Amino acid sequence: MRLSRYFLPVLKETPSEAQIASHRLMLRAGMIKQASAGIYSWLPLGFKVLRKLENIVHEEQVRAGHIPMLMPTLQSAELWKESGRYDAYGPEMLRIRDRHDRDMLYGPTNEEMITDIFRSYVSSYRDLPLTLYHIQWKFRDEVRPRFGVMRGREFFMKDGYNFDLTKEDALHAYNRHLVSYLRTYERMGLQAIPMRADSGPIGGDDTHEFLVLAETGESEVFYDSAVTDIRLGARDIDYDSVDQCQAVMEEFTSLYARTDETHDEARFNEIPEERRRSARGIEVGQIFYFGTKYSEAMGATVQGPDGKSVPVHMGSHGIGVSRLIGAIIEANHDDKGIIWPEGVTPFHVGIVNLKQGDPDTDAACEALYAAITAQGLEPLYDDRNERAGGKFATMDLVGLPWRITVGPRGLKTGVVELTSRRTGESEELNPEEAVRKLA
């Protein structure tokens, strides 16, 4: 992409309404624009990152054997009256009446709708196990929307639902989700720690939240510092293997790690003192096993092997896709701007032309642009007629992992400068070497 043809409305001033770094930087880097409280337009740069995260989530869900689909944002109140949650959900639910006086709502989550889909088509245990998911906009009329996309009212969420014949099968689905979530966050360059949590209005007994440690996080958490040493890494997981998924679940959840709602001071004090941590965290996902809560209320039953009709065991599993962008920036920035992890960066490398209009410099930049693109990477080429200082500031703010600086002085000796955004280290290389280093 050439910056002269892109739409990247960066702000020089720090917006006063933004209280935390990620919100400030997303506004300043031209990623989002507030439309009304807690509701944002995703400008091209922000949209690009959102799509990248969405793709990672899709890839990891499909890898785990879960099936993508799409449900609408607007739902009929009827299903929610059946489950009993129409009244229980409270003022966080945005209620709408259509022209025929029908009660509608903007979905805050989709347990009811998916259960209705399930009961409409599935009637035999032979069709199980089944896990369906979608990535769709949600609306919750939060009392205090704040911190930009971290606590929006409209937000983008992946929510998946498993349907199983037995509790054991449903717990395998739970563990499968736990593993796939760990892999998802690691691909985004994040450490998200599963912590025992409270189930809130979704209901149920078994639930873990995934928390990214951050001073600006809204959750209070308590954990054994040894949990932060565990990584999933590149290990190969067979998602069909009950034992493998359970082993990962146990590895990641055996050490003490809880949110304040389930915190147990006595158990916490059993951890060696030097490993006891209390901190703040950002909730970037949650998994639930809730058994037959919705299937019983809504008649989602299947015929078992013995011919008897039984309600299915269910769970639901969510990832806050739009919130994750805030969490990634909270964990990856400095006072100049964002520092994107490689897996989610909107462009791979920035090209800064120090002397726009100089034929040799322009030609060298164009050649780099073509060579990088041919490698399957996306460059962002600052081809504007601007001073070098302004171009560097924009690149630092936007935070691409690499910058290649091209100027007449270097070109005289055949070199360009390759700079790492994270370390700030630069080296002079000939253009071919610089391109090779990016791969």
Residue numbers of the site for ligand ATP (CB under 6 A)?
109, 140, 142, 151-152, 155, 157, 200, 283-286, 318, 320, 322-323
| Smallest distance from ligand ATP to CB 155, Å | 4
The residue type at 366: E
Residue with the two structure tokens 């899709």 = 58
| Smallest distance from ligand ATP to CB 281, Å | 10
Residue 187 touches which of ligand ATP, Mg ion, none (Cβ within 5-8 Å per kind): none
- Residues 413-432 close enough to bind Mg ion by CB under 5 A: none
Q: Residue with CB nearest ligand ATP?
A: 320
Stretch that binds Mg ion, among 112-120, 176-184, 283-291, 344-352 (CB under 5 A): 283-291
Task: Give φ, ψ of 338 to 5 degrees.
Answer: -80, 155
Judged by CB, which is closer to Mg ion: 286, or 419? 286
Q: Mask 285-314, x = binds Mg ion (CB under 5 A)?
A: -x----------------------------
Pure H helices in 198-241: none
Residues 6+ apart with CB under 8 A from 9: 30, 43
Task: Give φ, ψ of 407 to 5 degrees.
Answer: -145, 160
Judged by CB, which is closer to Mg ion: 213, or 415? 213
| Smallest distance from ligand ATP to CB 356, Å | 40
The torsion of the CA quartet 26, 32, 36, 39, rounded to 10 degrees, works out to -90
Residue 285 touches which of Mg ion, ligand ATP, none (Cβ within 5-8 Å per kind): ligand ATP
CB burial string 177-187: b at 16+ within 10 A, e below: bbbbbbbbbbb
- Residues 160-179 close enough to bind Mg ion by CB under 5 A: none
Rounded to an integer, what distance in angstroms lies between the CA atom of residue 182 and that of residue 185? 5
| Smallest distance from Mg ion to CB 225, Å | 23
Residue 22 touches which of Mg ion, ligand ATP, none (Cβ within 5-8 Å per kind): none
| Smallest distance from Mg ion to CB 288, Å | 9
Rounded to an integer, what distance in angstroms lies between the CA atom of residue 233 and that of residue 109? 31
Residues 6+ apart with CB under 8 A from 210: 181, 185, 192, 193, 194, 195, 283, 284, 285, 286
Judged by CB, which is closer to Mg ion: 285, or 399? 285
| Smallest distance from Mg ion to CB 90, Å | 11
| Smallest distance from ligand ATP to CB 136, Å | 12
Judged by CB, which is closer to ligand ATP: 129, or 318? 318
Strand (E) positions, 81-153? 94-97, 103-106, 130-139
Residue 26 touches which of ligand ATP, Mg ion, none (Cβ within 5-8 Å per kind): none
Judged by CB, which is closer to ligand ATP: 285, or 379? 285
Residue 295 touches which of ligand ATP, Mg ion, none (Cβ within 5-8 Å per kind): none
Rounded to an integer, what distance in angstroms lies between the CA atom of residue 340 and that of residue 401? 6
Judged by CB, which is closer to ligand ATP: 103, or 142? 142
Helices H, strands E: what count in the chain? Answer: 14, 23
Judged by CB, which is closer to Mg ion: 207, or 301? 207
Q: In this structure, what token pair is assigned to residue 362?
A: 């322009």
Judged by CB, which is closer to ligand ATP: 151, or 183? 151
| Smallest distance from ligand ATP to CB 170, Å | 18
| Smallest distance from ligand ATP to CB 261, Å | 10
Rounded to an integer, what distance in angstroms lies between the CA atom of residue 189 and that of residue 331? 9
Q: Nearest CA to 296 among 50, 66, 115, 95?
A: 115
Q: Does 207 bind Mg ion (CB under 5 A)?
A: no
Residue 134 vs residues 9, 12, 61, 91, 159: alpha-carbon distances, Å:
31, 38, 10, 24, 6
Q: Which residues bind Mg ion (CB under 5 A)?
A: 283, 286
